[in-house]
Amino acid sequence: MIVRPKPNLLIILTALKGSIARHIALRTLLITLLACLIVVVERLHPDWFTRINAMPFTLLGLALSIFLSFRNNACYDRWWEGRKAWGQIIIEVRSFIRQSVAIDDAPTREALLRELCGFAHALNARLRGEDELAAARPWLSGAPDTHGINTSDGLLRRIGGQCARLASQGQINEWRYTLLESRLSGLSCAQATCERIKNTPLPFPYTLLLHRTSYIFCLLLPFAMAGALGWLTPIITIIVAYTFFGLDAIGDQLEDPFGRDENDLATDSMVRTLEREILDALGQRDLPPPLEPVDHVLT
């Protein structure tokens, strides 16, 4: 996730980190070179371009910009819903920490809270297609093969089972057990939300149509402008290509907000926040430092 102060004019004109420009530089350059070639051809054979009218491109460009806006809004909704789900995870973990003070057995409470931190690490790895058991292992007290095929959900089952045993043994009352179980249910709901976003991309034909239309529009646009604008055509073309290709690329990044792209959610930072707060609740004072932006990127 890009973290910057409020941008001034210099940053707006020169910033590359997070601007998507590097991701679309090659295709934008190729479209601009094509525009230059078309201008040269128009200068040599102007009669070839006499019957080309810019009106269809005006209508197509307007429709394309509207559809790109719709797609980007849908992708941003996914990004924001993912952020709300991780916000819920932070709320539920903090609530579990506060309500777990009723557990008098300090080693048992420490094991539960550490496994809760393991859940956050495992879910973060799961959403990135990484080894979730390896991510959670430093925080686990039980055998690694007891968590099933879904490590993060298995950890919630283990924590819930331990809370149920504490209630049956009388170490916590039924009301306290109900509160702790509601926190685990909230974590399970947040996990399911993240998995739904991760496993349900936008409909492929919709995305493919916008990709194709963007390329076709940018490829044909110089033919409509070469006769009227001459060598201004490459300049206008690069601006239009940067806009359409940029919106398209931003939508691709926001569609899956849990990866490692510059504009993805800073889930590593949120997991570190939970890690620090759990260790602090357990009385440790040598806490890992909070993650800071590196070159304006917070992971």
What is the DSSP secondary-structure string of 122-135? HHHHHHTTS-HHHH
Question: In 120-150, which positions are buried (b, 16+ CB within 10 angstroms) versus exposed (e)?
Answer: bbbbbbbbbeeebbebbeebbeeeeeebeeb
Position 295 in a domain: no
Are 18 and 246 contacting, i.e. CB atoms less than 8 angstroms apart? no
Query: What local confidence, expressed as pLDDT, does residue 146 receive?
Result: 62
Position 3 in a domain: no
Question: In 157-187, which positions are buried (b, 16+ CB within 10 angstroms) versus exposed (e)?
Answer: ebbbebbeebbeeebbeeebbebbeebbebb
Percentage of residues in the chain with pLDDT exceeding 70? 87
Position 265 in a domain: yes
Residue range 230-246: mean pLDDT, rounded: 85
Provide the domain limits for residue 137. 19-281
Residue range 43-55: mean pLDDT, rounded: 72
Grade residue 182 by pLDDT with cuts at 50, 70 and 90.
very high
Residue 193 has pLDDT above 90, yes or no: yes
Cα separation, 83 vs 72, whole angstroms: 16
Query: What local confidence, expressed as pLDDT, does residue 227 receive?
Result: 74
| Sign of the torsion formed by the C-alpha atoms of 227, 228, 229 and 234 | negative
Cα separation, 266 vs 286, whole angstroms: 23
Nearest residue to 250 (alpha-carbon basis) of 49, 90, 20, 73: 20
Residue 2: phi and psi, rounded to 5, are: -75, 130
Query: What local confidence, expressed as pLDDT, does residue 176 receive?
Result: 87
For 195-220, write each residue's pLDDT tens digit: 999 998 888 887 888 888 888 888 88
Query: What local confidence, expressed as pLDDT, does residue 5 receive?
Result: 57
More confident residue, 117 or 52: 117
Cα separation, 188 vs 192, whole angstroms: 6
Residue range 237-250: mean pLDDT, rounded: 85
Position 5 in a domain: no
Percentage of residues in the chain with pLDDT exceeding 90? 20
Residue 274: phi and psi, rounded to 5, are: -65, -40
The tokens describing 29, both together, are 């350059």
Q: Which of 32-46, 83-97, 156-170 has the highest mean pLDDT?
A: 83-97
Position 7 in a domain: no
Grade residue 191 by pLDDT with cuts at 50, 70 and 90.
very high
Range name among 33-42, 49-58, 62-71, 259-268 with the lowest pLDDT average: 49-58
Query: What local confidence, expressed as pLDDT, does residue 120 receive?
Result: 93
Question: In 268-298, which positions are buried (b, 16+ CB within 10 angstroms) versus exposed (e)?
Answer: bbbbbbbbbbbbebeeeeeeeeeeeeeeebb
More confident residue, 298 or 124: 124
Grade residue 241 by pLDDT with cuts at 50, 70 and 90.
confident
Position 6 in a domain: no
Cα separation, 252 vs 259, whole angstroms: 11
For 133-151, write each residue's pLDDT tens digit: 888 888 887 655 666 778 8
Nearest residue to 194 (alpha-carbon basis) of 110, 133, 256, 252: 256
The tokens describing 202, both together, are 């936008």
Position 123 in a domain: yes
Position 291 in a domain: no
Residue range 255-261: mean pLDDT, rounded: 85
Q: How many folded domains does the chain comprise?
A: 1
For 6-27, write each residue's pLDDT tens digit: 665 555 555 555 567 777 888 8
Query: What local confidence, expressed as pLDDT, does residue 94 receive?
Result: 92
Cα separation, 121 vs 204, whole angstroms: 30
